[in-house]
A and B are shown apart, each in its own frame.
Chain A
Amino acid sequence: MSSETVTEPVVTVASKAAKNIPYDARLWLRHSKKFPHLWCPGCGLGIILGSSIRAFHDAGFEKDTTVVVAGIGCTGRMPVYMDCNTLHTTHGRALTFATGVKLAKPHLDVVVYMGDGDALAIGGNHFIHSARRNLNLTAIVVNNSIYGMTGGQVSPTTPHGARSTTTPRGQFARPFDTCDLAIGAGATFVARTSITNARHMQKMIHQGLKHDGFSMIEIVSNCHTSFGRLNGIPSHLDMFQQLKERTVLVKPDMDMEEEKSEGRLPLGVLHCDTTVPNYLRQKLGDVAPKPAKATGREP
C-alpha cells in the first residue's frame, strides 16, 4: 500500500519508552520458510522462542556462529524456526551432539533445547554428565510436566498424584526438581524462569549464555492441550494464572525450602559458580587441570 509510510522510530537516550522497545525477534526467524509453527495456540513455546532470540541478541550472538541443537518433542521443534545453524537430533541426545559441535569448533555458541522428558528421562544420563563436564554450553529445559508431543504421557517432572494418559490413577512416583538435579550434578549456572514472565526469561537466558561453563535454565511452561486437559485446567489462560500463583521471584534472604514446602517454585538464578574452570579452557591449556588430591602414590 503506497499510502503507508514507514517512519524510523525516534530513539533518544533520554526516551524511557525506547529502552522498552524489545528487539524484533522476527529478525532471527526463518519466516520465509517454516511458518506457521506447529505448536498449539496458547502454548508457552512461542513465548520462549521470542525471549530466546532477544537473549541471543542481548548476548551479542551472531546468526552465523550460533548453533541451536534440540531433541525430540514439541520443544525439540524450536530450532527449525531460528535463522542460524540448527540441528534437530534424537530423543534425549541433543546434548551429545552439542558436545561434539562445541569441542570441534569452540568459537561457536551452542544452545540446546530439550523438553522435560527429553532432558530428564531418556536424556537423563547425558544431562548429568554434561553438567559435570562443564563444557561451555547452554541447556534450556522446557518443563511442561508432561510428554506434550506424544499426547500426554507421564514425565519425570509430572507432579506426584497428577494424571497423564499413562498414569490414569495419578502419578505414584515423585518428580525431579530439574534445578536441584543440575546443581547436584555439578552445573555451574542454574536458573529457573517461567513463560509467564517473558522479560525475566530473557534475562535468565541471557545470563546463562554469558556464563563461562555449563549453564542450565529451566523454563516452567504450560501444556494445556495434554497436562491441562487431563488435570482439569484445559484453558491456557487458566494455566498461565496457576503458573503465576505457583512461582515466586527469588529475593535475597528468601527461605527456598519454605517456599518449596508451600508449593511455590522460586524463579531466578539458583546457583552460579565462576570458580570452576570450564572443560575447554583446560583442554586448550588456559588453565591446567588441578591435580587430584594426593593419594600417597605417584600418578
Chain B
Amino acid sequence: MAVVRGHVGAEAPRADDLPLVDGSAMFIADLNRDGQLWARVVRSPVASAVIVGIEISAAVRHPGVAAVLTADDVPDVQIPIRLPFAATPECELALQPPLARDRVRYVGEPVAVVLAEDPFTAEDAAELVALELEERTPVLDLRAGSGADSVHDRLPDNVVNRVPMVCGEVDRLFATAEVVVSESVVVHRHTGMPLETRGLLAEWEEGEGRLTVWGAAKVKHFNRQALAQMLDLSPQSVRLIEVSVGGAFGVRGEFYPEDLLVPLAAMRLGRPVKWIEDRREHLVATNHAREQLHELEVAASEDGRLLAFRDRAWCDQGAYVRSQGLLPALLPALQIAGPYAWEGFSIEASAVLTNRTPVGTYRAPGVTEATLVRERALDRVAAELGLDHVELRRRNLIAADRMPWVFDLGPQGEPIVYESGDFPGSFEALLAQAGYDDLRAEQRGRAPGGEAVGIGVSAFCEVSAVGPFEQARIALEDGRFAVYVGVGSVGQGVATVLGQIAAETLGVGLERVAIHHQDTADTPEGFGTFASRSTVLAGNAILLAGQDLRRKAAAALGIAEDTLDVDLEYARLAPQRLTGEGTFEKEHPSFTFGANLVLVSVDRELGRVRVERHLVAHDAGRAVNPALLRGQLCGGAVQGIGAVLFEELRYDRTGQPEVSSLEDYLLATAGDVPAVEAVIIENPAPTNPLGIKGSGEAGMAGAPAAVANAVADALGAGAESLALPLTPARIRALVRARELNAQPEAS
C-alpha cells in the first residue's frame, strides 16, 4: 500500500452523511432510557416581576407527576461564564440562576420544573403551577440608564460594563478631517434558530456515582466542568455525550438553566429524565443575539481617505449575563475597525441589561453588527464625497505589504493585530468574479424600465481561531486510526475535515481514519466549537499528534520515518499500543478577511427586495475541503440575507415577545434567495503549521451589510439611515419619502 497524500485540499465526501440520509441518525429526541421521566419547564409569563409565591400542590397531585422542583429544591448556584476574558466582577452580579428565586426578569425565565411519566402529563401539570407575581415596570430601552427600574438591584443603571478602546489621536484626526459623517444604526434582535431545538437526556447511576448526559454540543468539556461543580461531583464522574446535532450557530450547546435542571432531577428522582425544548420555548429560552445601537462618526479627507472613527454602542445583554459573558459588547468593539487603514479610533461599548431573553453569540457575533454599522457609514461617506462605494474601499483597505498590521490600543489593552492577508487583492478577486463594471452597466441599463436595481458591498475582518489550545490523540484501535479531539460537530462537517488532516498527516486513506469527538469520557480536554476555531485548533493538534505517532512508530520499528508506511505496518504497530499526542496552543486570535457583493432589485410599489446575486469572498488561508467550505460560506450568507430582510424578535411595550412561532419568525426559503457564489482565497496563515484560517462564520459576517447597502443603492438612499429588517413597510416608507422630496422638482 502506498503512502496516501493529497487529502488536504480535496473535496472529500462527508464522513457522516449516510445515517442522515437514511434516517437512522440519532438526534437527542430519538434517544430514550428505560423508566425515564419527562421534564417540562414552567416559565415566567411576564417580563419583570417579584415572585410572591409559587403554588405547586395541584401540579404535584396531578396523576402521573413524580415531582415539581422550584428554586428551593436546587442548589444556590448560577451559570458561570465560560471565557475568562469575557468575565468581570460586575458580570458576576447579573448571572442567571437555574430557577428564578425572588424575581423573574424576562418572559420565558424558568421558575419551576415538572417531572412526569410522559410528555403530555408533564405539560398538563406545568399549567397547574400557579405563580403569584407582583409586576414591575420592565426595562426595555437600551439607553434607559439609571432613571429606570433596575433589572438587577446591584446594577442600578442597568449597565454591566463599559468597554473602552482608544487608538491614536482621535480628536486631532477629527479636527483635521474635511468630511465627518455620523450614522446611527439599530441592529435588530434575531438569532440562530437551528432546525432542531435543544434537548437533554440525563441518567444517574447511584451505585457507581456516575452521571451521564446526552445532548451536549459546542462546549461539552466546559459544560461538564460547570455541571460537576454545581452538583458537587468530580468532573470524572460526569459524562457528556454529543449525538447528532441539528445545527448550533452559536446558540446551541451553551450552558443553559436546563443543563443543570435535567441532570439534577435525574439525581433527585433516581430515574432518567428527558427534556425536549419545543419551538415556542426555544423562541424565548434559547439565546437571542445581535440587538445593539451604535452611534458612529467617521472622519475622512476630501480625497477619500478614512482617518478616524468614534463609536458609541449600547449592546443588549438581555436580562442576565449568560455563559458568554460580555462578548455581546466586546466582540463588536474588537471588530468594528475592519480591514481599513484607520489612523485612529475610539470606542465605548456598553453592555446593557434589559428585561428580555438573554443575549449570547450567534454565528459571526460582533463582526456582523459592527460590519453593518461601519459599512453603512462608509456608503454615506462615499455619497458625501461623490465617490463610488467600491472606490472608497479600494483607497482604504490595508495594503498587503503593510502586514502584519497593528492597531495599538495603548497601555489599556492588547493591540489588535492582523497577521496576514492581501485585503486589496482579495477584494479585487471578488469584484472580478462579480464583474463589477458590467453590473454597474446593467444597473444603469435596467433603470429606465422602472426597476430599482442596487449594488452593495461590504468588507470585514473577523476574529477567529481563538485559543487557548486544543489537544488530539491518535490511537490504533479497531483496525483503524482513532483520532480523539475535544471540539464538537454541530452539522458543519468538521469530522470530515479533521479526518482529511489526519489522513494526510499519517499518509493513509481517508477510510482508515475515525474521528471521535462525541464523548467527554474518552476525548481529551477541549474548548469546543465556536469562533471558527475547530478546524484551525483541532486540525493543527491532529497534525502534531500524527507527526508524534509517526515518530514513535518509526522508532519502535527501527526504520527511518520518511520511509514509514504506518498503514502497512499497522499489524505490527497495533499491539504496541502506541499513541500520538498533540497539543496546539494559540495565544492570540487571528483576523481573517472577507467581503461581499450583492445585486438586488427592489419592487418599489410592493416594497419587496429580491437578492439576485450574492457573492462572498473569504480568505481561508488554506481550504482543507473547498466543497465544505463553500457550503459554510453559502449557508452563512443565506442566514445573513434572512437576517436583514426577514428575521426579527420583536417585543411589545410590556416586554412580551411578539414572535412566538416559526410562522412569525420568518426564515428565508428556497424561493427567497439566490445560489450564493463563493470566492475562496488562500493566503496561508503564518501562525499555524497548516496555514488555515477559520471559516465557519465568514459567510454571515458581511452579508447583512452588503444587502442593506444594495437596497439603499437601489433606492438612491445611500445617505439615509435604514431601519432593520428591511420590511416592505420600511421600503415603502423610504420610497414615499423620496417621492415626496422629488415632487417639487417635477412640478
Physical interaction between A and B: no
Interface residues of B (CB under 8 A from A): none
- Residues on A close to B: CB < 8 A? none
